[in-house]
Amino acid sequence: MADVLRGPGEVAEDDASDAVLALYARLRELLDVSFVPTVFRMLALHESYLTAVVDALAATSAPRRAARARACVALAAGVATRLDPPPLDAGTDGPRVAALLDRYNVANPSGLLVLTALATGLEPARGVLEPPLPPRAGRSLNDDVLACHGGFTVPGLWRELAHGWPALAEQAWSEIRALAEAPAFGAGRAELIALAAGAIGPGELPAPPAEVERIVAWFARAIPSMVLEIECLRLALSRGSG
């Protein structure tokens, strides 16, 4: 997984200094995740800011964050039901794919709360899975995922899915591409962002310096998109395996 989750502008876990490794360990504990989400691997290039984020996050209310993260997943699951994705059949790999989706939608809702708070006052990123999506035009899967998510980076879920199950990833991405064109997708994302906004109060996390504003603004838009994408894929996978 470390090789797959080694993108440009990131500090992979097995490349990190001792100081960054300590920050990563604290993040895994604070967010109750098994891996370090992409946004924090990018912020690790700005170690002093990541340190301030982790310190401030440690001082926020863990029960409040956990309750709001669960509410975000429940909201996204409801939006997925309304979007009504077609079945996705992973065959005998279904349990492994389901576990991958579960892992990301433990990490993503927690990240959503943090990034929504960090991005307060920033201009929202544009072109992140917003219709009309650019034509596929012969791009590879990862290149098309990148283009449709605004050209910033490929979300970790799609990197892992394309690496482990390339044929399934193509089908899954085709379904998500179609669902993202529906008005209900954008409306659901807006609901998620609004729900996440109340979890961590203003001033509880540090404002981003200019050099990391683009990272924060993009992830504040991309993470709620991924929460919805994954809930759609979980529902599609449950229908395909039934």
Model confidence at 241, pLDDT cuts 50, 70, 90, reads: confident
For range 200-212, the mean pLDDT:
92
| CA atoms within a 13 Å half-sphere pointing along the CA-CB vector of 90 | 22
Domains in the chain: boundaries: 61-240
For range 202-210, the mean pLDDT:
92
Each residue's pLDDT tens digit, 7-36:
778 998 888 999 999 999 999 999 999 889
Q: Quickly tell me which residue has 């098309």 as its tokens.
A: 144
86 vs 242, residue with greater confidence: 86
Model confidence at 4, pLDDT cuts 50, 70, 90, reads: low
Looking at residue 3, its pLDDT comes to 60
Model confidence at 224, pLDDT cuts 50, 70, 90, reads: very high
Asked if the model's pLDDT at residue 77 lies above 60, the reply is: yes
Asked if the model's pLDDT at residue 178 lies above 70, the reply is: yes
Please provide the average confidence, as pLDDT, over all residues in the chain: 94
For range 202-212, the mean pLDDT:
92
The pTM score is: 0.94
Asked if the model's pLDDT at residue 139 lies above 90, the reply is: yes
